[in-house]
Structure 1
């Protein structure tokens, strides 16, 4: 009894000590009186602030930055102290100038590992460099001309046929789901030489896609739950997560096994799977099947999710802004015709207003909205703010895109002209417009995604007009995920454009 009492008193004393030491921040963090930020609760910091926010971490970071300035701080248990850097100069320092001094860190590696493993999105150092170097072979000019364009054209024709059927039937369709099907089919053919048949059977659910979407939602939830590794052991979501990860792992392994057994496909020197299967690491060894599987799944998230989500947000904004849609259609009609209804490789870059509209959608709805890096060694940002080893640096591209200090007073307004009228034009400063990431980790597939989106958008809008079905929330909510999908289906009615709208106007110019 005396021992139990002593233990209880000791624990109570420890608790009081911790409450006094960490009165407004998470346990294990040092005070930063030199930085502004919302005060937290003892031991758990700002965890409840995030959970009280209906839109989670992204909106919490945005509201924190709007209230406390371009740099602010908050704390979370398990993550420690987090310092936001909502200005281009600081982001350039972290992602370029001192690139080696900031890494994803063990905590985030563990958080993402059961889905992304050691793929390019979840690794650093030599492994990342090797994967990036080999991946770059996919996106060379010759591949664009010989492989990528042909697949985009083929899949675009399938999309047009599906839309034609919906226009004739008058039924509503989920445009976001259709974009996911398009990008998965296209990327599967280009990268792995396989057809997922998502557009061939547009009414049938795609098990791989369902599993992939579920696991990403769970990864998003983990960012807001520092105790996920414990709670997932006992929850229904945790059990389902383990099942879906097993399915994805088996799916990736099957791609590798099928390739090893396909002697004809193994001869294709441009296939990404072949590139990695034939590659050797610094020690001279070939990649294991586990490593190849991780690479496959990372490629799919890059090729499927990001472009499909960008297209979804772009189409919503066009429906919400008819005058912008009218200008885009004028550009389309000036470059496409009944004889040439799909853009050729040579003229894709001429769709400048369309590309600007895509970039504007990505500015406000970046497909990777939130990023974190761990500081390895004490550092000082260009604005004089010290970052201490072990502290996290966070930038939220979703928040940056809405920040008037970065984009001007019309930051929250959808305005493609900002990319046409600025000094940077259609090559914006990557540390200001970080939707394709930035620095050495800038997206290798930026031109790939842009071509895919522009080809599909222009072909579709030349023939069809979309109308949101009543009763949907505008603007749509985003889902909790590591990327930025819409939370609910984007339900639309499809209409054929009238003859006057689709006629080629030889002398039309954008206003």
Structure 2
């Protein structure tokens, strides 16, 4: 490990031009996201009857979900080596070649494709280059109707397999690329067919919305933000966000933040390694990402990576737990009852969301005070 001065010098040398040349690194990160996407399942709700490209009928009110995690493991999409980690599949003549976003769905696709995609790749590249430059990393062992998608499971199957749900869905998808899950009020369709996904997210975009059920599930955490709304509200927020994300000044500033974050991460990993401490690399990366998000978004130094502030640590836990508890609502038939009586998981979710709101509000107030003092 070199001294801190050399770390700072190295991350400063990671310019936009350098990042553009990192084709193999870009392929490696993309291959990682193919097999381990951040959002493992996502979907929409049918606002009208429809027919998918593979011939299966959709009824108004049906939920239609694409299985990102399972898609990365489908031989009919990626070939017989679908479950192998092979970055070379993304390269042609040493140059990165992207696939259709409806096939590689890690950043969503269609009109709602992730605005922060390029920022995410930029940060991942900078962090990866810094860590790989300064450290050696050792890896240890680790109802039948031909017009409708066949019913292969009920919600009880998902509850029974909840701890290994994504692997269970992958095995189902290998046998039946498009299938139905039976619920009391509606059907939910799960698909790994990229033509279906393009149909839902682009071709027939107007027929599919977040849907009442999804909005109810995520409203407490996401409110009426861009991730939770449809129609004009979504268009307005998307337009504003697009202008911000396309600004060169934001791109340049974010790169500076990512470089500083990378240098800080290298120092933290070195400190823990020298002390012979066991640490969770994923948690460190999450802390580093949150620091970057708050710095770019609010101009506030969160210092999660330092772990020196109790509130910062509590924020990370509250944010992580809130996401998990919100997701659990999809398979918990009693979540509304729990919320009404404010008990169990819903009590915890409410407390976490309250803390997150207060923490963010305080961060904004602090930033405003700093600006007023200038």
Q: Structure 2-normalised TM-score?
A: 0.56
Q: In the alignment, which of 304, 321, 334 is matched to residue 198 of structure 1?
A: 304
TM-aligned CA deviation for residue 71 of structure 1? 1.5
Deviation at 1:203, TM superposition (A): 8.8
Relative contact order higher in (CA < 8 Å, ≥ 6 apart): 1
Distance in 1 separating the partners of 2:247 and 2:183 = 45
State the shift of 1:231 in Å.
3.1
2:150 is aligned, of 14, 26, 37, to: 37
Which of 210, 229, 238 matches 1:123? Answer: 229
Q: Compared with structure 1, are the counterparts of its residues 37 and 235 closer, same or farther at alpha carbon in structure 2 (3 Å cutoff)?
A: farther
Specify the SS of the correspondent of 1:120: coil
Rounded Cα–Cα distance in structure 2 between residues aligned with 1:263 and 1:202: 24
Segments of structure 1 that go 5 or more residues without pairing to the other structure are 1-27, 41-45, 268-511
CA distance in 2, matches of 1:264, 1:234: 40
- Structure 1 position 221 matched with structure 2 position 221: no
Alpha-carbon separation, structure 1, partners of 2:343 and 2:170: 30
1:163 aligns with 2:275: no
Q: Which runs of 5+ in 2 are unaligned?
A: 1-60, 63-142
Distance in 2, Cα, partners of 1:190 & 1:112: 25
Equivalent residue, structure 2, for 1:381: none
Contact 1:151 1:186 in 2 (8 A): yes
Q: Which one has a larger percent helix, Structure 1 or Structure 2?
A: 2
Tell me the distance in 1 between the aligned counterparts of 2:183 and 2:165: 11
1:201 positional shift: 3.2
8 Å Cα contact 2:226/2:237 also seen in 1:
yes
Map residues 138-157 of structure 1 onto 2, 5 A cutoff: 138-140=244-246, 142-143=248-249, 146-157=252-263
Of 314, 332, 345 in structure 2, the residue corresponding to residue 207 of structure 1 is 314
Structure 1, residues 322-366: CA drift from partner, whole Å, max 9, x if none?
Answer: xxxxxxxxxxxxxxxxxxxxxxxxxxxxxxxxxxxxxxxxxxxxx
| Map of 1:506 onto structure 2 | none
The Cα of 1:64 is off from its aligned counterpart by 2.5
Distance 1:57 1:103, change over 3 A: farther
Per-residue Cα deviation, 1:41-91 (whole angstroms, up to 9, x for no partner): xxxxx1211111153543443233223x2211121235x111223211111
Of residues 254, 258, 266 in structure 1, which corresponds to 2:362? 254
1:235 corresponds to 2:343: yes
Q: What is residue 492 of structure 1 aligned with on the other side?
A: none
Deviation at 1:255, TM superposition (A): 3.8
Distance 1:64 1:39 in 2: 8
3-state SS in 1 of match to 2:227: helix
Checking the alignment, whether the CA contact within 8 Å between 2:245 and 2:251 is kept in structure 1 is: no
Determine if contact 1:208/1:248 at 8 Å carries over to the other structure: yes
Cα distance, 1:200 vs structure 2: 3.0
Kindly state the Cα deviation for residue 116 of structure 1 after the two structures are TM-superposed: 0.4
From 55, 63, 76, the equivalent of 2:171 is: 63
The change in CA–CA distance for 1:199 and 1:77 in structure 2 (over 3 A counts) is same
Q: Report deviation, 1:101.
A: 0.6
Shift of 1:243: 1.2
SS in 1 for 2:181: strand
1:108 aligns with: 214
Distance, in Å, in 1 between the alignment partners of 2:360 and 2:144 is 45
Distance in 1 separating the partners of 2:200 and 2:326: 24
DSSP-derived class of the 1:200 partner: coil
Report if the CA contact (8 A) 1:115-1:245 is conserved.
Answer: yes
Q: CA RMSD in A?
A: 2.7
Aligned length: 231
Q: Distance in 2 between matches of 1:202 and 1:160?
A: 17
Equivalence for 1:16: none
Please state whether the residue corresponding to 1:249 is helix, strand or coil.
helix
Deviation for aligned residue 1:257: 3.9
Q: Distance between the aligned counterparts of 2:280 and 2:208, measured in 1? A: 40
TM-score norm. by structure 1 comes to 0.42
How far apart, CA to CA, are the structure 2 residues paired with 1:174 and 1:185? 17
* SS of match in other structure, 1:244: helix
Shift of 1:194: 0.4
